[in-house]
């Protein structure tokens, strides 16, 4: 029996102590790795093992703002600590005697972090996934979604950000006659998800008229990463992928050449009201502006007359609901879209802060996945993993090309998981 087989079957003991990243104040200087006793399971609680946790820009905001974060008002960071992490894939390892009977040891779940009923959120005022073993009470249990198929741990974690992507199209999706989609600030992790979704819809026949995907970003490094990831995939789907830096001379003229009749659908992943407003003049009538970036409340002008006469639809989204998470999880389980395509780097528990800093500094052009049960893995881009892990030859070729997969994850865990 392999190490991963034993891991999945829970044939390893629950330790007495667990590593955990705790925030006690504002800034990275107050973000510490510590070791504590594994939390006690109350009568109605479940004890979980954190298998993977995607690192998000929201985690950076929590650390940089500390108690000033809107979701932490009145919360005592010094006393109660914050454990970030909401893109969580967990396994139930212990169930309280009075807990809901639907929870069984060995079951896997993902977490809808935004607990609207309780005005709380996992990874904020409820301890999140940057822990090896933790406890969820009755409140959080209402927001757990069961993983029904044997998908990868990282695939499960990445359902959360992908659910946010999918939710942003719920009220105004691409139309069958749309020809050009423009993703502003598309070089980052979320922009690349929007790009992949657009290409996938063309590939499966939902966007027959679509001919061009335009990705703009001010970083040539990020644009190069987009081309490396999507050039071939776009061509195979029958699309032209165009990447442009909007600050370079001739941008407006080039955009006019690409979409002479105006852009049909604009996704704004750049948190700049000025940049977003500048895009509106390039939109066609009956176009859609999807506000996805974290634009601050109270900022940005809206010209209602222009929206009215040009019949533009403006939609906004900053998260996902329970039903969005479940929808995306089932899409992943049916293998309609591989969330692992969004993985860009991995990091072990002891080096988690390096992963968060890399997100803060934009050093990784796709998602970084924390493996809490692998303590010593330094922050490593996926294409560099073969220098640290001995993969089988076919898997190594995929990994060197920057592609993460369930098979690669299994081989990584077989080699690096701590053994009892």
End-to-end CA distance of the chain: 14
Alpha carbon 222 to its chain's center: 17
Q: Which phi and psi angles does 260 have, rounded to 5°? A: -60, -30
Task: For the chain, give the mean pLDDT.
Answer: 94
User: Considering only CA atoms, which of 67, 55, 54 is closest in space to residue 27?
Assistant: 67
29's CB contacts (< 8 A; 6+ apart) are none
What average pLDDT does the segment 305-327 reach?
91
388-404 pLDDT, tens digit per residue, is 999 999 999 999 999 99
The structure's pTM equals 0.92
Q: In the chain, which residues fall in CATH 3.90.180.10?
A: 3-162+321-415
Dihedral pair phi/psi, residue 43, rounded to 5°: -55, -35
Query: What confidence score (pLDDT) does residue 301 get?
Result: 84
Question: Cα 216 vs. chain centroid, distance in angstroms?
Answer: 20
**The domain 169-316 is classified under which CATH number: 3.40.50.720, 1.10.357.10, 3.20.20.70, 1.10.3720.10?**
3.40.50.720
Confidence of residue 303 (pLDDT cuts 50, 70, 90): confident
299/201 Cα distance (integer angstroms): 33
Calpha distance 187→222 (Å, rounded) = 5
**What is the model's pLDDT at position 420?**
57
Other CB atoms within 10 Å distance of the CB of residue 330 = 14
**Which is higher by pLDDT, 303 or 84?**
84
Domain 3-162+321-415 sits in which CATH superfamily? Medium-chain alcohol dehydrogenases, catalytic domain (3.90.180.10)
DSSP 208: T
Cite the residue boundaries of each domain of the chain with CATH code 3.40.50.720: 169-316
């Amino acid at each position: 029996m392999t190490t991963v087989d034993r891991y999945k079957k829970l044939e390893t003991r629950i330790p007495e102590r667990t590593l955990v990243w705790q925030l006690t104040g504002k800034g990275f200087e107050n973000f510490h790795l510590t070791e504590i006793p594994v939390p006690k399971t109350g009568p109605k609680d479940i004890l979980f093992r954190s298998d993977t946790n995607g690192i998000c820009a929201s985690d950076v905001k929590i650390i940089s703002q500390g108690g000033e974060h809107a979701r932490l008002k009145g919360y005592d960071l010094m006393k109660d600590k914050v454990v970030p992490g909401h893109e969580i894939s967990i396994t139930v390892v212990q169930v309280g005697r009075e807990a809901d009977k639907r929870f069984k040891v060995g079951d896997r779940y993902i977490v809808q972090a935004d607990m609207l009923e309780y005005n709380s959120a996992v990874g904020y005022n409820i301890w999140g996934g940057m822990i090896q073993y933790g406890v969820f009470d009755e409140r959080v249990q209402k927001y757990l979604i069961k993983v029904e198929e044997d998908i990868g741990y990282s695939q499960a974690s990445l359902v959360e950000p992908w659910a946010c992507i999918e939710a942003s199209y719920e009220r105004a999706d691409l139309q069958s006659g749309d020809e050009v989609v423009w993703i502003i600030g598309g070089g980052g992790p979320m922009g690349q998800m929007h790009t992949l979704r657009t290409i996938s819809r063309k590939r499966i026949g939902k966007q027959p008229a679509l001919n061009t995907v335009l990705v703009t970003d001010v970083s040539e490094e990020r644009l190069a990463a987009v081309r490396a990831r999507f050039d071939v995939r776009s061509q195979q789907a029958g699309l032209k992928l165009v990447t442009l830096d909007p600050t370079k001379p001739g941008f407006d003229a080039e955009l006019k050449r690409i979409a002479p009749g105006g852009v049909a659908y604009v996704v704004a992943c750049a948190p700049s009201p000025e940049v977003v407003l500048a895009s509106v003049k390039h939109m066609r009538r009956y176009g859609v502006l999807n506000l996805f970036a974290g634009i601050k409340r109270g900022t940005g002008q809206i010209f209602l007359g222009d929206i009215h006469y040009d019949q533009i639809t403006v939609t906004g989204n900053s998260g996902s609901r329970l039903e969005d998470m479940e929808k995306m999880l089932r899409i992943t389980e049916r293998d309609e879209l591989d969330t692992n395509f969004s993985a860009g780097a991995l990091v072990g528990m002891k080096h988690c802060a390096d992963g968060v800093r890399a997100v803060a500094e934009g050093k990784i052009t796709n998602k970084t996945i924390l493996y809490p049960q692998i303590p010593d893995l330094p922050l490593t881009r996926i294409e560099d993993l073969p220098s640290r892990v001995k993969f089988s030859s076919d898997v190594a070729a995929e990994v060197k090309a920057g592609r993460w997969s369930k098979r690669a994850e299994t081989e990584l865990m077989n080699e690096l998981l701590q053994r009892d």
